Structure 1
């Protein structure tokens, strides 16, 4: 109950800050949204994209899931939540940037590397994390026998690249990238150091954003 009471108090503070008699921050947003950036982040409670980027309501269109993954483009009639969000952000909101935001100490990637995804065997988590299987295979091939923490960090970053590649499998995303109206970015947040890195295609490395 303490958490719920704190959340209600937090909402009242939000309401006062954004909907007070002398505050018009939500006046424009009442008419609709027009964010220029979409962030695909992890469900991890420590890594909230809006807090990390110090954004206000309306600044970013956000999707969060286990391990910040993007599935490949599929037309199998399934219920594709991430794909639906991508379609809305790109085709209707016409965002100009998509950021895949990964982070250190990711539980999903840890389970993937340990080969222990989910409490139900071949359940939802296992199926979902199979999207990042190429990242695991790449790390185990390139860093065999290395420290597990090193392997996990490498897998967390490799999974971001898998998601970036999967984004290009959506025809309406790939075409916009070719046209220059949409840019794709891979970011990695290091929890211990409080540092943010960006994938640089020219070097093939994640480099700290100063």
Structure 2
């Protein structure tokens, strides 16, 4: 309860200070509806704060977060899929012009992909979900060979972002909008220790500091 009380105090500050400061903007968002600039697909990691690292405000980002910032391939056979639903809603209904897939350093999901796990009733969904990170792990092991585990994980974190961009293109409407030049995909990697973001340059096939393009 003590930790929750911190959130209660935080809410009081938000309601009395931050909300009041942006009250007109919030009111406009309610009256006119949302019109976000981009869909941000990020990790559930508590150290990654999409609004904070992008300097965005209310209504700027449509955000979906999951373990590992993974994008499941398009599959009509899935009965429930929150991430797929968010992608479809953002592209078809909100008509966002950009989608950002943002990975990060020290990613627990990528670390887990390098470890062995045995499915149980307690982790069956987690183990299944982590399969989405295995292509990046396999590529890291193949590309770096006997390099350190730390180097392999760092490589896999960035490679995974690229794989998720490829998975995005398996969604028919995403592919259509990209081909028409109406939708742009971006791969980012956020460094927790420095606060820097690197983006994937599709021309040079490497990650470069954001803002240097």
TM-score, normalization by structure 2? 0.93
SS at match of 2:48: coil
Give the structure 2 partner of residue 70 of structure 1: 71
Kept in 2: contact 1:108–1:117 (CA 8 A): no
Q: Does 1:36 align with 2:43?
A: no
- Alignment pair present for 1:14 and 2:30: no
Note the C-alpha offset of 1:122. Answer: 6.5
Check if 1:25 corresponds to 2:30. Answer: no
- In structure 1, the partner of 2:127 is 126
- SS at 2:199's partner residue? strand
Shift of 1:189: 0.5
Q: Find out whether 1:3 has 2:3 as its counterpart.
A: yes
Relative to structure 1, is the Cα distance of residues 18 and 29 closer, same or farther in structure 2, using a 3 angstrom cutoff?
farther
What does 1:192-207 correspond to in 2, within 5 Å?
192-207=193-208
TM-score by length of 1: 0.94
Secondary structure of the residue aligned to 2:63 is strand
Moved more, 99-108 or 136-145: 136-145
* Structure 2 stretches lacking a partner, 5+ long: none
Structure 1: give runs of 5+ residues left out of the alignment: none
- Aligned-residue offset at 1:192: 1.8
Aligned pairs, number: 210
Partner of 1:173: 174
Structure 2 distance, partners of 1:52, 1:21, is 21
